[in-house]
Structure 1
Amino acid sequence: MIAHLSTADIQKAMNRQSSVGWTALLIACNRGHMDLVNTLLANHARVDVFDNEGRSALHLAAEHGYLQVCDALITNKAFINSKSRNGRTALHLAAMNGYTELVKFLIRDHAAVVDILTLRKQTPLHLAAASGQMNVCKLLLELGANIDATDDVGQKPIHVAAQNNYSEVAKLFLQQHPNLVMATSKDGNTCAHIAA
């Protein structure tokens, strides 16, 4: 089909958005179809198109842990620190969903900002802790994530781990910084208060 279209028609078709803002590239990235992603990119599909929630193809690929798809998008100039409407980046999505290798790839190989904030001022470490992603939390700490970062309600990653009953993650943070046991949120709660 593509062979019979002009370059202008191909670009137009590749970048047409659905009612929810999805293009063929966003759909292919969401499903992890690497061959189709490569074909679309070779035929001028834009990597900087955002859906109605402000998500790019990179967000969708990262959310599902498709490292090779993310690599292809970044190679084709996808902006690594691009934020969705709620302020999440590819790194936030990879961290909260437990994709350790993708987190490492985004930070080490492509300089994703390790402590980038969502609209609620949550770092990737906050989201990994809230989801109980122990290995991602360990990796983020190794890569220099701020264990003392506070979100818009004054919670640190240890607080969100305790709030979601991830005691092993909270223990990891306490091993790193024992003084976190007394850290309070804006409303004066420690992780012990929150976990109770």
Structure 2
Amino acid sequence: MLLPYSPQLGLTDHTGGTALVWAAKNGCDEMADLLIKYGADIEIPDNAGQTPLLCAIKEDYEDIAASLIEAGANVDMKDQEGHFPLIWAVRRNWGNIISRLLEHGANLDVQDLNGGTALICAAVDKRRDVFFQLMVYNPRMNIFDDMGRTALIWAAQKGCGEMVDLLLQRGANPKIKDKLGKTALHWAKTEGHERIARNLLDYEGMSNTSKTTL
């Protein structure tokens, strides 16, 4: 047992990894908890810019991620590839970790190097439960990624009717065009999602009627 003898817990190897980074990468729960308990710096990243928290989420170790969040880890620190803890938690479909991250101040609308937000990622990956969970926190719905696509466009393209309906109810703009010049309606028609296309047409019709009445 080395930890009670106060080793230098911030020492790194040739990859820039500390003992805590490696514990997080390898899923060593007890080791990670001990390192946190004895004061290891929970923010030191490896040479790729990955903090212990991001490592735990990317490598699929939920308990370690939860411990690091509760210990006060920076929930918005991204790595050199633009990966954020929240967006990776969406990819993992981890509702519990998403809640913890947001409750500890994670920025809901951060964008990765491809311009994707947590909400866009949930739509792209068809993560229904996570998508509805994120909507509770009032994300910005009209942010678009590097392809010019919003969460609404992705939901329409992927055939996620419930997502489309909720986004429209909450004020997402169906007229935004991506870099190919296509709207959510165009994509719904192209991909054969007839019900979604009808709902988008009905919504646009109601919107136009409302404006005429006003």
Q: What TM-score bracket applies, with the shorter chain setting the length? A: 0.7 to 0.9
Determine the C-alpha separation between the residues in 2 that align with 1:85 and 1:23. 17
Does the 8 Å CA contact 2:115/2:144 hold for their aligned counterparts?
yes
Deviation at 1:105, TM superposition (A): 1.6
Once the two structures are superposed, what CA deviation does each residue of 1:31-82 show, in whole Å capped at 9, x if it has no partner?
A: 3322111111233322111123211111122235544423322343321111
| Distance in 1 separating the partners of 2:24 and 2:3 | 22
Instruction: Please name the residue that 1:54 is paired with.
Output: 49
> Are the counterparts in 1 of residues 153 and 183 from structure 2 also a CA contact under 8 Å?
yes
The corresponding residue for 1:134 is 128
Percent identity among equivalent residues?
Answer: 23
1:188 partnered with 2:187: no
Unaligned runs of 5+ in 1: none
Mapped partners of 2:149, 2:174: distance in 1: 13
Report the AA paired with residue 40 of structure 2: A
Aligned partner of 1:111 in structure 2 is: 105
- The answer to whether the 8 A contact 1:64-1:94 is kept is no
1:151 and 2:148 are equivalent in the alignment: no
Where 1:152 maps in the other structure, the secondary structure is coil
The answer to whether the 8 Å contact 2:128/2:163 transfers is no
Is the Cα contact below 8 Å between 1:126 and 1:156 reproduced in 2?
Answer: yes
Q: Secondary structure at the match of 2:138?
A: coil
Matched residue SS, 2:99: helix
Is the 8 Å Cα contact of residues 27 and 56 (structure 2) preserved in structure 1?
yes
Determine the C-alpha separation between the residues in 2 that align with 1:100 and 1:3: 33
Name 2:202's counterpart in structure 1.
Answer: none
Higher gyration radius (CA): 2
Secondary structure of the 1:69 match is helix
Taking the aligned partners of 2:106 and 2:4, their CA distance within structure 1 comes to 39
In structure 2, how many angstroms separate the alpha carbons of the residues matched to 1:84 and 1:126? Answer: 19
Once the two structures are superposed, what CA deviation does each residue of 1:106-157 show, in whole Å capped at 9, x if it has no partner?
113x121111222333211112222221111111012212222212332112
Work out which of the residue numbers 22, 36, 54 in structure 1 matches 2:31: 36
Distance between the aligned counterparts of 2:18 and 2:39, measured in 1?
Answer: 12
Aligned residue number for residue 77 of structure 2 = 82
Distance 1:158 1:96, change over 3 A: farther
Kindly state the Cα deviation for residue 92 of structure 1 after the two structures are TM-superposed: 1.0
Aligned residues: 186
Structure 2 residue aligned with 1:175: 165
CA distance in 1, matches of 2:83, 2:118: 9
Query: Normalising by the residue count of structure 2, what TM-score does the alignment of the two structures yield?
Result: 0.74
Any stretches of 5+ residues in structure 2 without a counterpart?
192-214
Which deviates the most, 132-141 or 113-122?
A: 113-122
